[in-house]
Amino acid sequence: MYDKQVRRRRAVLALLVVVSLILLTAYFGESPGSPLHSVQRGVVTVLSPIQEGASRALKPVRDLFGWFGDTARAKKERDQLKAQRDRLLEEVAGYRAALLENRQLYNLLQVDDNGLQDYEKRTVRIIGRPPNNLVSDRLQVNAGSGDGVHVGDAVLADGGLVGHVSTVTSGVSFVTLITDPSSTVAVKVLDDAGDFGLLKPSVGDPLDLLAQLLPRRARIRLNDIVVTAGFRTSRLDSLYPPNVPVGRVTKADPEELQSQQQVHVSPIADLRHVDFVQILIGPTASGQQRAQVGAGGPAGAVGGP
């Protein structure tokens, strides 16, 4: 009797296991349109109204358990957010203090002409413009060598860089604008890293400047300020003094930055409507030359256009 029970038990167990394995193998090897899948879909179809009814009926139970879980989660989240808020408040306070300090320092620098205290600022009137700024973008001003103007002097307007004096006569000078096709300015983008690049006008739209040769992974954002980089070596000085505002970033496309290493910059000075400019007349150290990066060597020559 006992042996019979054992044999029966084992037989049933083996049968169940074999059936399961057959089902598994058959189902696994079948296509979605096969009989087992069809049966499964039929069962699901039959069960779906029951499941829907049960789901509605058991919703209060789910909500009850969910309420406990949500409450615990909300409390944890609240604590995390409180800690985050406190941390951010501290950061904001620090940032505000830094901002205030920055403004004060900026104002001080403005008073000192952005560190240009060694330069004499001479305000001059624009007396002429070339008709076609696509080929040559220059201005003619009413001050020359007789007024202490030199070739290579930087020219500002509206607080931003306009260009440099490229030609000097005794009474007038010619200013080559930063939008001139031959112009190249070494610049620094005031992003988080202070990335350096070269600013050149884009072909066909001189007012659209391109800051090129920037790092591919530079984190440059819209409206970042671009200033002159300025450099000084034993034999060569930059044409422009450092930290003179040049423009604002108007387009910083990561793809363009990645592929062409450039962003678009709009000049701060309103180059098309300005009537007066300021020439920075500064001392030139003996034995040193002033250079414009990438613009074909020392700029300009004394003489008329």
Partner 1 sequence: MSPGDGYQLPLRLAALGFLTVVVQITAVSQITVFGVSADLSPLVVAAVGLLAGSLPGAVFGFAVGLFVDLALVQTLGVTSLLFIAIGYGAGRFRELRDPAHGLVPLAVGAVAAAVSTVGFTLMQFMLGVRAPVSWELLRQTVVTILLGALLALPVYALVRRVVQGSLPDDPLRRRRRAYTTGGLSPLQRPSAGR
Q: Quote the DSSP letter at residue 129.
A: -
Structure tokens at 263: 């962003």
CB-wise, 27 or 196, nearer to partner 1? Answer: 27
Least distance between partner 1 and beta carbon 78 (Å)? 19
CB-wise, 70 or 112, nearer to partner 1? Answer: 70
Of residues 44-103, those binding partner 1 (CB under 8 A): 44, 47, 50-51, 54-55, 58, 61-62, 65-66, 69
Of residues 176-215, those binding partner 1 (CB under 8 A): none
- Contact residue for partner 1 among 34, 40, 123, 258 (CB under 8 A): 40
- The whole-angstrom separation of Cα 173 and Cα 166 is 8
- The whole-angstrom separation of Cα 155 and Cα 281 is 9
CB-wise, 42 or 194, nearer to partner 1? Answer: 42
Least distance between partner 1 and beta carbon 23 (Å)? 4
Torsion angle, alpha carbons of 9, 13, 14, 15, to 10:
100
- Residue 162 CB contacts under 8 Å (≥ 6 apart), including other chains: 139, 155, 156, 175, 177, 178, 267, 269, 271, 274, 277
CB-wise, 51 or 102, nearer to partner 1? Answer: 51
- Contact residue for partner 1 among 34, 35, 43, 87 (CB under 8 A): 43
Least distance between partner 1 and beta carbon 61 (Å)? 6
Kind of pairing between the strands at 154-157 and 120-128:
unpaired
Structure tokens at 241: 């003094």
Answer whether 194's CB lies under 8 Å from 166's CB: no
Of residues 100-129, those binding partner 1 (CB under 8 A): none
CB-wise, 43 or 301, nearer to partner 1? Answer: 43
CB-wise, 1 or 111, nearer to partner 1? Answer: 1
Pick from 198, 177, 188, 199: which is nearest to 224 by CA?
188
Q: How many residues bind partner 1 (CB under 8 A)?
A: 34
Kindly write out the interface string for residues 4-33 of this chain, putting x where it contacts partner 1 by CB under 8 A and - elsewhere. ----xx--xx--xx-xxxxxxxxxx-----
Torsion angle, alpha carbons of 117, 123, 126, 127, to 10:
-130
- In the complex, the residues that contact partner 1 under the rule CB under 8 A are 1, 8-9, 12-13, 16-17, 19-28, 36, 39-41, 43-44, 47, 50-51, 54-55, 58, 61-62, 65-66, 69
